[in-house]
Amino acid sequence: MSTVIDGKTVAAAVLDRVKTAASTLEESHCVKTGLAVVIVGNDPASHTYVSSKSRMAKECGFVSVQHTLPEETTQDDLAAIVDRLNADPAIHGILVQLPLPPHFDADPIIQSIRPEKDVDGLNVVNAGKLATGDLKGGLVSCTPAGAMVFVRQTHGADLSGLNAVVIGRSNLFGKPMAALLLAANATVTVAHSRTRDLPAVCRNADILVAAVGRPEMVKADWVKPGATVIDVGINRIAAPERGEGKTRLVGDVAFAECKDIAATITPVPGGVGPMTIAMLMANTVIAAHRAAG
Ligand code: GUN
């Protein structure tokens, strides 16, 4: 029998600590933690994620500001909003939801967020600190930070001797995940769309982390018996068995066939997803504590 990680329970424990940290800051420094979330355009999934982030910020006792901007917003308009939030002392964390509509050049926007307020950990300063093994001084991207909580729960803080395979090489997830695993002494392989014989590479993994955005791509014979499998995919697929036009969420891992081969596995939904939001709140309260000195 494998262990299926309950992301909601782990996230709730993180959020309890965040709430305590936020109220301590308020009592000691009269500072309310502030998070600003910016969304541009009409992508329904992004709107759902952003609403959850804003709602959770309120539940944590933060000042929660949401800028909901129309599709026609220009690069300069968005840059001006980020500049204003950068200068606002009541805001400790800024998140610009990705992807931005196609007429935007996202990178200059993301890089313009002050590193101290970059709660997504995407600024080159934060990404560089992580890449150079400075885990304390910067802010770490939320989804990999959340996935690492599961890894640590299962294996402890030291991953010496363990092989970790991360499928996916994005700046938002794959690269920071690999850096965190490496900092914990794992032997890390980053696999991607150009990797030869991906199933064989995955079968070598004691810790297999999938973040490719391909529904149920990781099959049972890709998984080493006894491995820890972390599924970062969130894919909406048709579910005709639930009725016409119905959909359901699945991960990048074929959960039903992999769960009895892995020793530990995360489900979708209810695995990594809740942790991403919890770690965003954690990053924001960390940023607020640092700003308050
Ligand atoms: N879109 C999907 N996940 C994320 C995330 O973690 N941060 C941002 N900014 N956009 C996203």
Q: Is the same domain home to 201 and 156?
A: yes
Q: Using CA atoms in the order 111, 113, 115, 117, what is the torsion angle rounded to 10 degrees? A: -150
Hey, which of 37, 48, 49, 122 would you mutate to test ligand 1's pocket, going by the most ligand atoms within 8 Å of its Cβ? 49
Nearest to 5 by CA among 211, 163, 229: 229
Atom 8, ligand 1: residue with shortest CA distance: 97
Q: Is the same domain home to 148 and 260?
A: yes
Residue at 183 is within a domain: yes
Judge whether 170 is annotated as a binding position.
yes
Hey, which of 48, 50, 120, 126 would you mutate to test ligand 1's pocket, going by the most ligand atoms within 8 Å of its Cβ? 120
Judge whether 39 is annotated as a binding position.
no
Judge whether 168 is annotated as a binding position.
yes
For 170-204, the pLDDT digits (tens) are 999 999 999 999 999 999 999 999 999 999 999 99
CB within 8 Å of 135: residues ≥ 6 apart: 129, 180, 183
Residue at 4 is within a domain: no
Residue at 128 is within a domain: no
Residue at 19 is within a domain: no
Distance CA 53, CA 56 (A): 5
Residue at 12 is within a domain: no
Query: Region 84-100: what's the mean pLDDT?
Result: 98
Q: What is the pLDDT of residue 159?
A: 98
Any idea which residues carry the catalytic annotation? Answer: 53, 97, 120
Q: Is the same domain home to 190 and 78?
A: no
What's the domain count of the chain?
A: 2
Q: Is the same domain home to 75 and 158?
A: no
Q: What is the pLDDT of residue 293?
A: 87
Q: What is the pLDDT of residue 89?
A: 98
Whether residue 167 contacts residue 218, with contact meaning beta carbons closer than 8 Å, is answered with: yes
Ligand 1 atom with minimal separation from the 96 CA: 9
- Give the domain range for residue 249: 142-273
Q: For residue 119, report the distance from its CA to the centre of ligand 1, in Å.
A: 11
Q: What is the CATH number of the domain that holds 69?
A: 3.40.50.10860
For 216-226, the pLDDT digits (tens) are 999 999 999 99
Residue at 7 is within a domain: no
Query: Region 134-138: what's the mean pLDDT?
Result: 94
Distance CA 212, CA 119 (A): 23
Q: Is the same domain home to 149 and 269?
A: yes
Residue at 67 is within a domain: yes
| Mean per-residue pLDDT over the chain, rounded | 97
Q: Is the same domain home to 100 and 207?
A: no
Q: Is the same domain home to 76 and 175?
A: no
Q: Is the same domain home to 113 and 148?
A: no
Residue at 278 is within a domain: no
Q: What is the pLDDT of residue 265?
A: 98
For 227-279, the pLDDT digits (tens) are 999 999 999 999 999 999 999 999 999 999 999 999 999 999 999 999 999 99
Q: Is the same domain home to 194 and 269?
A: yes
Atom 11, ligand 1: residue with shortest CA distance: 98
Residue 97 in contact with ligand 1 by CB distance below 6 A:
yes
Q: Is the same domain home to 211 and 267?
A: yes
Q: What is the CATH number of the domain that holds 223?
A: 3.40.50.720
